[in-house]
Amino acid sequence: MANMAVLDIDVAGLRRFTEQGFLTVERLIDLSMVARLRTRFDKLFAGEFETGVTPDEVNWQTGSGDETLTRQICNGWRADRAVAGVVLSEEFGRAVAKLGGWPGTRVMIDNVLWKPPRGRPLLFHQDSAYLDWYRPSDLLSLWIALDDTTAECGTLEFAPGSQRWRRTEPEGDFHGPEDYRRNLRHAANAEGVVDVEEDIAFVEVPAGGGSFHHGWVWHGSGYNRSSHPRRALVLHAMRSDVEFYPARLASGTGAIYGRYKRLGDNVMDENYFPIIWHKDGYRTPGIELYLAGT
């Protein structure tokens, strides 16, 4: 698609991702797509769903949501085709698989995020700690900024190399905590890492840029101290060959997305968890028809 960058993950980029747990990219989508997505975000948070399908999670709505919290919708791709055009991108699926060393890429969920001016932080955490309801439980995420990002605006922050630290259980208030780096400091202390906050890397990119990150790397975001919103679209991806893990479906987000488990087997239904790229050329049938609105 013309709106997407052609991503050539070279040896140096793959090495940086392996070492740091994330990879920053200056251009992922063009400015026309950025503008289109901003318009669609307005409609989504106003409860206007283009396809008529309500997203799986709507954690903020115009008129009732807390104005200090980051607005969040999960699986906006099912409600809006502009969002779907990015989330279901074959090019992004190929890049994710290369970074993860996977045979193919499948959508786990997306996040439609909007941190308003003066918006409060999001807790430092490891994504995969919340996602043990499928196997293999590998996770890799693509975060796309729809606004120019800076440390002042509460952009995404990473602790480089922390994907190699021990794995932890989720703890603390995710949305709007007073001390959003508390869990990071505790995890760093357990690893014998001192002054972890001095080494934090901020994703500072122009609108349309962003980053890939590993499911176990520690990350979060601070206060938006700017006068502008900080909007982002996130693809959380898993391997193409995953299955449901029934013993853990009641934990974390498994209690929500376990609704799509089929009777009699653990197969991930591609209508809800589509495969967007595979090394053998396979891609879930129907994606192009859906994107075309037919």
Asked if the model's pLDDT at residue 72 lies above 60, the reply is yes
- The mean pLDDT value of the chain amounts to 95
pTM over 0.85: yes
Q: What are phi and psi of 104, to 5 degrees?
A: -170, 170
Please report the pLDDT score of residue 12 as a whole number. Answer: 95
- DSSP E strand boundaries for the chain: 22-25, 57-58, 71-74, 104-115, 122-125, 134-135, 140-145, 156-158, 201-202, 210-214, 219-221, 230-239, 243-244, 275-278
Q: Which residues pair with 213 in a beta bridge?
A: 22, 141
Is the pLDDT reported for residue 65 higher than 80?
no
Positive or negative torsion for Cα 122, 126, 127, 132: negative
pLDDT of residue 2: 52
pLDDT at 7: 83
The 8-class DSSP code of residue 227 comes to: S
- What's the pLDDT band for 67 if we cut at 50, 70, 90? confident
The 10 Å Cβ neighbour count of residue 1 is 12
Domain 11-292 has CATH 3.40.50.720: no
Mean pLDDT of 145-158: 98
| Confidence at residue 37, expressed as pLDDT on a 0 to 100 scale | 98
pLDDT at 60 over 90: no
SS3 state at 124: strand
User: Residue 173 has what pLDDT?
Assistant: 87
pLDDT value for 41: 97
pLDDT at 228: 96
What angle do helix axes 90-100 and 11-20 make, rounded to 10 degrees? 60
Q: Is it the case that residue 87 has pLDDT exceeding 80?
A: yes
Question: Which of 48-63 are b and which e, b meaning 16 or more Cβ less than 10 Å from the residue's Cβ?
Answer: ebbeeeebbbbbbeee
Determine the pLDDT at residue 261. 96
pLDDT digits (tens, 9 = 90+) for 163-172: 999 999 888 8
Q: Tell me: pLDDT of 8 over 80.
A: yes
pLDDT tens digit sequence for 89-111: 999 999 999 999 999 999 999 99
HSE (CB half, 13 Å, CA atoms) of 64? 7
Mean pLDDT of 234-260: 94
Give me the pLDDT at residue 62, please. Answer: 78
What average pLDDT score do residues 140-156 get? Answer: 98
27, pLDDT greater than 80: yes
Would you state the pLDDT for residue 121?
Answer: 96
Mean pLDDT of 249-262: 91
C-alpha distances out from residue 291 to 5, 50, 83, 141, 146, Å = 18, 12, 10, 22, 21
Q: Average pLDDT, stretch 80-85?
A: 98
User: How many angstroms separate the CA atoms of 20 and 16, rounded?
Assistant: 6
Nearest to 164 by CA among 191, 189, 133: 191
- Characterize 5-14 residue by residue with b for buried, 16 or more Cβ atoms within 10 angstroms of its Cβ, and e for exposed: bebebeeebe
Residue 214: its pLDDT value, please?
98
Both structure tokens of 61:
């709505």
